[in-house]
Amino acid sequence: MRTDRPNSIVRSLSVYLTASLALALCLAGCSATANIPGSSSSDPAPGDPPDTTPPTAPMNLAAVATSSTGIGLTWSASTDNVGVTGYLVERCSGANCSSFVQIATISGTTYSDAGLTASTSYSYRVRATDAAKNLSAYSNTASATTLAAAAIVVNVSPSAANLATGGTEAFSATVQNDSQTKGVSWSLSGSGCSGSACGTLSNTTATSVTYTAPATQPSPATVTLTAVSQADSTKSASAQIVISASAAISVTVSPASATVQAGAGTQVFAATVNDTQNKGVTWSLSGAGCSGAACGTLTSVTTASATYNAPAAAPSPATVTLTATSVADSSKSASATISITAAISVSVSPPSASVNVSLPQQFTATVHNDSQNLGVKWSVNGVAGGNATVGTVSSTGLYTAPASIPGSGVTVTATSVADPSVSSAASITVLAAVSVNVSPPTAGLQLSQSQNFSASVNNDPGSLGVTWSLSGAGCSGTACGTLTSVTTNSDS
């Protein structure tokens, strides 16, 4: 006797009602199988059995070398009762290898494997997976060999050098197709020397080195500098170095002595060195009465010349030594003696003046410490020689006021020719023309009678007054009369 029939009837009725409700909802546009038990949803409904069906195996796996470090894979897609979610790519290296290791999980049907070793065989296999993590069988195995790497080429620069004993030379190496950037190692050799007798290497890197020739010339006098690739020791390049016995270095400085004015004086010095390496000299300043910038400064410095600039004030004692030292042999040097004179100064006399229009005024400039006696240049309000508006000044300092009073003040400046940064100026007030009035303007006198006259002068900046004189058409000298009690503003 069956006892499960009521339960079976209930379950059937439940499924029927659920299906009927879903069908009613479909009338509103829903999917008829959206939530109906037993429909083909990707996620099993509650109570459905789990997905245990694996995808089909990927097919037609192919491997092609794309470079010396890369291989490309392609295959045909797998199928699954629910859906394939990805592919697991496995690889092993070497001919007929079997130790596969998973290297990637991807969703597509192509894969690019990079970072491989040149000229090496690799094998691959692929399997598919689905959402339930069911794994397909493996695809076929595909193999490919990466392309051969481009050959390494080493170059050394310079490829040849001629050095005196003790001389130095910098060399550099370039390595083509050095994918790992390993560079080179350096070594020295010579048929007439070994070890340090061939010279020494310093500042060594994977791409450069500094060679120093030995103190004694080897015989034969040729040394080979070799750069060997670190990535491929069969690849190398070399430079041939010929070493000559060097004459003793000597240095001369020109001029050997100079006189320079403090504050603005300059002097160019040049050094000559019998230096086969043309390394030239370094320059330095020193003085018993100064140090640092107090001795002066050097500009436009090269290994062959330098410009000396005197300090603002002369040191005490006022002598500075400029030394040129050989770069190739620091024990060899030469020097120049520089005497520093006091700074130039300029003064103008008079320092100020009042001048009537169109009249002259002499100015005098005094230049101190002008060892070359170059004197001064004159200007008016910044204009060399002046002009008609502000007045003119001659090369000797004679100023002539303009014909009319200028709209602003007037300054006459004397500037040192030896040091244009030094000058002195005088201020000028330009006044209207002088006018003179005599009172009384006329007088009638008897013989031997006297008459007092007075004079007033307008625009007389120095209050110089007047001078008096007599003249007449019918007389001369005392026949015209005499003047007594004469002053600059009256007589009788």
64 pLDDT above the threshold of 90: yes
Task: State the Cα–Cα distance between residues 59 and 275, nearest whole angstrom.
Answer: 77
Q: Which amino acid is at 206?
A: A
Asked if residue 194 and residue 220 are part of one domain, the reply reads yes
The domain boundary, picked from 145, 166, 189, lies at 145
> CB within 8 A of 206, min separation 6: which ones?
181, 182, 183, 184, 185, 230
In the chain, how many domains are there?
5
The pLDDT, as a whole number, for residue 166 is 83
Residues 362 and 317 in one domain: no
Binned at pLDDT 50, 70 and 90, residue 434 comes out as confident
Q: What is the pLDDT of residue 7?
A: 41
Q: What is the pLDDT of residue 43?
A: 56
Pick 247 or 408 by higher pLDDT.
Answer: 408
CATH number of the domain bearing residue 120:
2.60.40.10
Averaged pLDDT of the chain:
87
Say whether pLDDT at 13 is over 90.
no
476 versus 29: the higher-pLDDT residue is 476
Q: What is the structure's pLDDT at 491?
A: 67
The arithmetic mean of pLDDT across residues 2-6, rounded, is 42
Which pair of structure tokens corresponds to residue 322? 């400029």
Residue 37 lies in a domain: no
Please enumerate in sequence order all residues whose Cβ is within 8 A of that of 98, keeping only pairs 6 or more positions apart, or say none: 92
**Is the pLDDT at 237 greater than 50, yes or no?**
yes
Of 216, 244, 272, the one marking the end of a domain is 244
Categorize the per-residue pLDDT at 26 as very low, low, confident or very high, splitting at 50, 70 and 90.
very low
pLDDT of 44 reads 57
Tell me, yes or no, whether 36 lies in a domain. Answer: no
Tell me: pLDDT of 95 over 90.
no
For the chain, helix (H) and strand (E) counts, in that order, are: 1, 37
Instruction: Say whether 139 sits in a helix, a strand or coil.
Output: coil
Q: Is residue 410 situated within a structural domain?
A: yes
Per-residue pLDDT of 245-268, as tens digits, reads 767 789 999 999 999 988 878 999
Tell me the pLDDT band of 430, cut-offs 50, 70 and 90: very high
- Please tell me whether residues 101 and 127 are part of one structural domain: yes
**Are residues 365 and 301 located together in one domain of the fold?**
no
Q: What is the pLDDT of residues 129-143, one digit of tens each?
A: 999 999 999 999 999
Q: Would you tell me how many other CB atoms lie within 10 Å of the CB of residue 289? A: 14
Average of per-residue pLDDT across 284-296: 95
The residues near 295 (Cβ < 8 Å, ≥ 6 apart) are 285, 286, 287, 311, 315, 320
When mean pLDDT is compared across 316-330, 350-364, 434-448, the lowest value belongs to: 434-448
Where do we find the tokens 């090369």? Answer: 395
pLDDT for 271 beyond 50: yes
Please check whether residue 472 lies inside any domain of the structure.
yes
Q: Could you list the residue range(s) of the whole structural domain that residue 486 is in?
A: 446-492
Strands, DSSP E only, in 57-183? 59-65, 71-76, 84-93, 101-106, 110-113, 121-130, 142-145, 153-157, 160-164, 168-176
In the chain, % of residues over pLDDT 70 = 90
Number of C-beta neighbours around residue 323 at 10 A: 17
- Better-predicted residue by pLDDT, 21 or 153: 153
- For the record, the structure tokens of 111 come out as 């894969």
Which pair of tokens denotes residue 481? 């009369």
Let me know if residue 24 belongs to a domain.
Answer: no
Shared domain for 349 and 334, answered yes or no, is no
* 463 and 486 assigned to the same domain: yes
Select from 442, 279, 441, 434 the least CA-distant residue to 354. Answer: 434
pLDDT of residue 287: 95
Q: Give a yes or no: residue 12 inside a domain.
A: no
pTM for the structure as a whole: 0.38
Q: Are residues 91 and 117 in the same domain?
A: yes
pLDDT greater at residue 30 or residue 164: 164
Torsion of CA 12, 15, 17, 20, to 10 degrees: -130
Instruction: Please state the separation of Cα 90 from the chain's center in Å.
Output: 54
Structure-token pair, residue 417: 């020719």
Residue 293 confidence (pLDDT):
94
**Residue 196 φ/ψ, nearest 5 degrees:** -70, -15
Confidence band for 70, pLDDT divided at 50, 70 and 90: very high
pLDDT for 5 beyond 70:
no
The span from the first CA to the last CA of the chain, in angstroms, equals: 180
Question: Which pLDDT does position 488 carry in this prediction?
Answer: 79
Sign of CA pseudo-dihedral 319, 325, 330, 334: negative
CATH number, domain with residue 270: 2.60.40
SS3 293: helix
Q: Is the pLDDT of residue 15 over 60?
A: no
**Same-domain status, 183 and 217:** yes
| Helix, coil or strand: residue 457 | strand
Cβ distance 416 to 374 under 8 Å?
yes
3-state SS assignment for residue 169:
strand
pLDDT value at residue 492: 66
Mean pLDDT value across residues 307-324: 94
Of the candidates 219, 207, 129, which has an alpha carbon nearest to the alpha carbon of residue 165? 219
CB contact set of 11 (below 8 Å; sequence gap of 6+):
none
| pLDDT value of position 14 | 41
Q: Which of 158-162, 385-389, 390-394, 434-438 shows the lowest mean pLDDT across its residues?
A: 434-438
Higher pLDDT, 4 or 247: 247
Answer whether residue 21 shows pLDDT above 70. Answer: no
Q: What pLDDT score was predicted for residue 419?
A: 85
Integer Cα distance of 227 and 310 in angstroms? 51
Question: What residue type is assigned to position 72 of the chain?
Answer: G
Look at 379 and 26; give whichever has higher pLDDT: 379
Q: In what order do the strands lie in the sheet with 84-93?
A: 101-106, 84-93, 121-130, 142-145
Q: Write down the pLDDT at residue 36.
A: 37
Q: Is 54 inside a domain boundary?
A: no
Residue 330 has pLDDT above 60, yes or no: yes
136 CB-contact burial (10 Å; exposed 0-12 / middle 13-18 / buried 19+): buried
Do 132 and 63 share a structural domain? yes
| Strand 168-176 to 208-212 pairing | antiparallel
Check whether residue 133 and residue 78 sit in a common domain.
yes
